[in-house]
Amino acid sequence: MVAKTEASKVVDMRDGRQQVGRRGEAYAAAFLRVKGFRVVAQNWRCRFGEIDLIVERDDVLRFVEVKTRLTDTYGHPEESITPTKLEHLRRSIECWLRAHASSSKQYQADVIAIFVKEGSKPEVHWVEGVL
């Protein structure tokens, strides 16, 4: 058996976090669909960052940051939304609005925090109107 280098361990950890994040985003998209939202885009990127989900209902766009955690070692998922992250999200939203002609005149930014306890159904905390 070949020992892994420190760099490959870091890559493996990142891959694991990305996989958890992608699963959380898929869960959040399904959660919002049940609430009557239509998914407009997922993982939209620009130079300021990524918007996890863009959804629409009743001509209102929602730009959604999704945070997923498997443990509460570092706090609840929504606690990782810093002022810097909100500023990146605000700038990314502005980029999206400039790049897409939209009939929606109203929009807001939300956070969906998902906490997945082993053997339990994921807990969803939806924080509306963070911007």
DSSP H or E run through 69:
strand 60-69
Structural tokens at position 23: 């699963």
Q: How far apart are CA 82 and CA 125, in angstroms?
A: 17
Q: Which residues pair with 55 in a beta bridge?
A: 39, 62
Q: Please, are residues 69 and 111 in contact by the beta-carbon 8 Å criterion?
A: no
pTM greater than 0.85 (yes/no) = no
Q: How high is the mean pLDDT of the chain?
A: 84
Is 24 in contact with 114 (CB distance < 8 Å)? Answer: yes
The letter for the amino acid at 63 is: F
Reduced to 3 states (helix: H, G, I; strand: E, B; else coil), residue 47 is coil
Report the amino acid identity of residue 75: G
Strands 38-46 and 60-69: unpaired
What does the pLDDT look like over 12-71, one tens digit per residue? 444 566 777 789 999 999 999 999 999 999 999 999 999 999 999 998 999 999 999 887
Instruction: Give yes or no for a contact between 76 and 113, defined as CB atoms under 8 angstroms apart.
Output: yes
